[in-house]
Amino acid sequence: MSTGTPPETAPDAETIAAHGLNEEEYALIEKRLGRAPNMTELGIFSVMWSEHCSYKSSRIWLKKLPTEAAWVICGPGENAGVIDIGDGQAAIFKMESHNHPSYIEPYQGAATGVGGIMRDIFTMGARPIANMNALRFGDPAHPKTRHLVSGVVAGIGGYGNCMGIPTIGGECNFHSAYDGNILVNAMTVGLADKERIFYSAAADVGHPVVYVGSKTGRDGIHGATMASAEFDEDSADKRPTVQVGDPFTEKLVLEACLELMATDAILAIQDMGAAGLTCSSVEMVSKGGTGLELDLDRVPTREVGMTPYEIMLSESQERMLMVLEPGSEDSARKVFEKWQLDFAIVGRITDTGRMVLKSGNTIVGDLPVGPLVDDAPIYERPYTEHALPAPLPTAELASAEAPMEVLRKLMASPDLCAKRWVWEQYDHMVMADTIVRPGGDAGVVRVHGSQKGLAISTDCTPRYCAAHPETGGAQAVAETWRNLTAVGATPLAITDCLNFGNPERPEVMGQFVGCIKGMAEACRALDYPVVSGNVSFYNETNGVGILPTPAIGGVGMIADIDRMARIAFANAGEQILVIGETRGHLDASIFAREILGREDGPPPPVDLASERRNGDFVRALIEAGRITTCHDISDGGLLVAVAEMCLAALADGREIGAAIDLPDAGMPVHGWLFGEDQARYIISADAVSAKTIIEDGGKANIPIKVIGLSGGATLTLGGTDAISLRELQRAHEDWLPKYMEA
Q: Which helix (H) or strand (E) holds 477?
A: helix 469-486
Distance CA 445, CA 431 (A): 10
Is the distance from CB of 538 to CB of 501 less than 8 angstroms?
yes
User: What is the enclosing helix (H) or strand (E) of 541?
Assistant: strand 540-541
Contact 670, 591 (CB under 8 A): yes
Cβ partners under 8 Å of residue 146, min gap 6: 140, 739, 740, 742
Reduced to 3 states (helix: H, G, I; strand: E, B; else coil), residue 602 is: coil
Give me the sign of the Cα torsion angle 293, 298, 304, 305.
positive
Cα–Cα distance, 48 to 222 (Å, whole number): 11
The sign of the dihedral angle between the CA atoms of 140, 145, 149, 150 is positive
Residues facing residue 704 across a β-bridge = 579
Q: Which of 98, 207, 428, 670 is catalytic?
A: 98
How far apart (Å, rounded) are the C-alpha atoms in residues 728 and 712?
Answer: 14
d(CA 140, CA 145): 6
- In 88-215, which residue ranges form alpha helices assigned H by DSSP? 99-104, 106-122, 145-163
**Which of these, 300, 265, 266, 270, lies nearest to 285 by C-alpha position?**
270
Residue 492 CA: distances (Å) to CA of 237, 489, 496, 530, 531: 43, 9, 14, 9, 10
Cα–Cα distance measured from residue 6 to residue 367, given in angstroms and rounded to the nearest whole number: 11
455 forms bridges with which residues in the sheet?
Answer: 444, 556
Amino acid at 713: A
The count of residues in the chain is: 742
Asked if residues 494 and 529 have their Cβ atoms less than 8 Å apart, the reply is yes
35's CB contacts (< 8 A; 6+ apart) are 6
Cα dihedral: 231, 233, 239, 245 (round 10): 50
Instruction: Reduce the DSSP state of residue 200 to 3 states and report it.
Output: coil
Rounded to 10°, the helix 637-651/725-741 angle is 90
Task: Decide if 186 contacts 114 (C-beta within 8 A).
Answer: yes
175 tagged catalytic? no
Cα distance between the two ends of the chain:
65
Closest CA to 646 of 734, 537, 723, 736: 723
**Taking a C-beta distance cutoff of 8 angstroms, is the pair 157, 520 a contact?**
no
Q: Are 241 and 222 in contact (CB under 8 A)?
A: yes
Q: In 3D, which of 120, 75, 72, 73 has the Cα closest to residue 95?
A: 120
User: What is the spatial distance between Cα 347 and Cα 357, in angstroms, rounded to a whole number?
Assistant: 9
Rounded distance, CA 322 to CA 211, Å? 7
Asked if 392 and 600 count as a contact pair (C-beta separation under 8 A), the reply is yes
To the query of whether residue 631 is one of the catalytic residues in this protein, the response is no
Spot the catalytic one: 52, 207, 222, 732.
52
d(CA 212, CA 479): 40
Q: What positions carry a catalytic annotation? A: 52, 98
